[in-house]
Amino acid sequence: MFIQRQGLVVWLYSLKQAKMLRRFGNVHYVSKKLKYVVLYCNQQEVDEIMEKLNSFSFVKKVEPSYKPFLRMEYENSAPDKAKEYDYKMGI
């Protein structure tokens, strides 16, 4: 039902062309100080879009986000018992 999305970080030489990147996906954030754009696109099209973006002269480099490939279920999510007893001292 939902299309898998993936983020791309596009490092630029100049922010003048940052508006043009909207045709490749959703522009989530533009950093004026560090000159990068966070762009979200479909996960199936990531490789094609990265090649297109790297071909532009105003792009330094393109980095994919690895969040879709990380496990979000944690095995040891129970709090540590020793820390709980320290707070219940009642001084």
Q: Which residues of the chain have pLDDT under 70?
A: 76-91
Q: Which two tokens stand for residue 54?
A: 């790297």
What CATH number did the domain enclosing 65 receive?
Answer: 3.30.70.80
Does the pTM of the predicted model rise above 0.85?
A: no
What Cα–Cα distance (Å) separates residue 75 from each residue in 30, 79, 90? 35, 12, 31
**85 in any annotated domain:** no
Q: Which two tokens stand for residue 34?
A: 């560090």
Domain residue limits at 17: 5-69
Q: Given this model, what pLDDT does residue 1 score?
A: 72
**80 in any annotated domain:** no
Q: How many domains does the chain have?
A: 1
**59 in any annotated domain:** yes
**89 in any annotated domain:** no
Q: Given this model, what pLDDT does residue 86 score?
A: 63
